[in-house]
């Protein structure tokens, strides 16, 4: 197996790393502590201009057509600098992929260039509800066709980029009499649709610069052609796209973990106790060795899942394995890094406390660690049946 990157893959990875360190890293702390919507949106626009908002979208729609491996590599580099920017990039790429996958040609031509170019600051993925998180098939949001319009009523929670997304991919029940998960359809909703209400941003533990909002549909009226894909067949689209999204969140986790342990490694190589650098102590060395080994294993799992996706092979189980392992290990690594720095790691003069806050949600969104284990076990048992 050849694990080396192609020239194009290495070039895009380096481009992402350069942008992350020159544009994002210097302002990440400011965005986290004080917020600056204009600056945040400016950075998103720059990412779009570099091609990072449509990495796996076809060139005919303005995308980079670079593939999932490149998406994972770029996500890791952006996440090293600013997790808030990275999660926005991940969800926007996911929205672009689902549109290209199931939308009509007219819908693709209308929305994809706006996502890829940055005309839309971001895309929104409206699936989760208060009673339908780990079990999205239990959603209550409904869409009823009245003449030539769909009328939507319901609410979606924890929607990344809700307040500045230009278009939302929305799932709603269109056949309440169908078996659970079978009567759900997918729609494209523009941000200015009548009856669409964006609630104030949630106050979160981490990833402060990324807006997370409740999106309410109060008799929201959409044209008949807002339906995306086949009527009542939308749930399997959501399940498929979540698998790809897990590669993004696993890569985000990896990036945060690497940023944390790299910072701690530099610190222990300078900090002195008992007359020598603490990096000389075997206990410290073993903590570093375990952390970097775990993150390298996460990287390989992510590359395997991304490679399978690019080759058109089944990748759902591999994506869940990668997301589960990367998010859990990145959480551990961030706490290891903080521990290596002692009291210094706990104060806001250093970025470790931000990394620890930002990484925590990675084992929750895009499917909790517990749900990933359910998916993995289900697939493993299906293999013997």
DSSP helix/strand/coil, 89 = helix
Cβ atoms 124, 199 nearer than 8 A: no
User: What is the chain's alpha carbon radius of gyration, rounded to the nearest angstrom?
Assistant: 21
Among residues 214, 366, 370, 383, the one annotated as catalytic is 366
Q: Is 105 a catalytic residue?
A: no
Residues 6+ apart with CB under 8 A from 80: 17, 20, 21, 25, 255, 256, 258, 259
Cβ atoms 252, 74 nearer than 8 A: no
DSSP 300-364: HHHHHHHHHHHTT---HHHHHHHHHHHHHHHHHHHHHHHHHTGGGGGSTTSTHHHHHHHHHGGGT
Secondary structure of 24-70 in HEC code, one letter for each residue: HHHHHHHHHHCCCHHHHHHHHHHHHHCCCCCCCCCHHHCCCCCCHHH
Nearest to 101 by CA among 226, 230, 12: 230
3-state helix, strand and coil shares in percent for the chain, rounded to the nearest 5: 55, 15, 25
- Active site residue ranges: 366
């Amino acid at each position: 197996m050849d694990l080396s990157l192609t020239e194009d893959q290495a070039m895009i990875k380096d481009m992402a790393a350069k942008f992350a360190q020159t544009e994002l890293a210097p302002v990440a702390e400011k965005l986290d502590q004080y917020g600056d919507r204009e600056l945040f949106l400016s950075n998103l626009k720059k990412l779009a201009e570099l091609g990072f908002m449509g990495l796996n979208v076809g060139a005919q729609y303005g995308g980079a057509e670079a593939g999932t491996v490149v998406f994972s590599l770029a996500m890791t580099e952006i996440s090293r600098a600013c997790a808030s920017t990275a999660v926005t990039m991940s969800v926007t790429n996911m929205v672009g992929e689902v549109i290209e996958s199931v939308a009509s040609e007219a819908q693709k031509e209308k929305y994809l260039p706006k996502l890829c170019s940055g005309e839309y600051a971001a895309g929104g993925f409206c699936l989760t509800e208060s009673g339908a998180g780990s079990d999205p098939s239990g959603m209550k949001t409904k869409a009823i066709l009245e003449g030539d319009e769909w009328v939507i009523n319901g609410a979606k929670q924890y929607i990344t980029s809700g307040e500045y997304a230009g278009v939302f991919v929305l799932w709603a029940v269109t056949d309440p009499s169908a078996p659970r998960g079978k009567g759900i359809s997918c729609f494209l909703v523009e941000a200015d649709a009548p009856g669409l209400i964006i609630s104030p941003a949630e106050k979160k533990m981490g990833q402060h610069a990324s807006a997370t909002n409740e999106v309410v549909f109060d008799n929201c009226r959409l044209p008949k052609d807002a339906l995306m894909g086949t009527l009542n067949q939308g749930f399997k689209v959501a399940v498929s796209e979540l698998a790809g999204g897990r590669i993004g969140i696993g890569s985000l986790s990896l990036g945060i973990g690497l940023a944390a342990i790299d910072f701690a490694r530099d610190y222990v190589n300078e900090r002195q106790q008992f007359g020598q650098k603490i990096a000389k102590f075997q206990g410290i060395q073993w903590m570093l060795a375990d952390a970097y080994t775990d993150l390298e294993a996460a990287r390989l799992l992510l590359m395997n899942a991304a490679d399978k996706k690019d080759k058109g092979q089944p990748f759902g189980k591999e994506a869940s394995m990668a997301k589960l392992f990367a998010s859990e290990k990145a959480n551990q690594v961030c706490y290891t890094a903080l521990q290596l720095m002692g009291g210094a790691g706990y104060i806001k003069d250093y970025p470790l406390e931000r990394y620890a806050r930002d990484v925590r949600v990675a084992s929750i969104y895009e499917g909790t660690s517990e749900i990933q284990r359910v998916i993995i076990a289900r697939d493993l048992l299906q293999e013997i049946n």
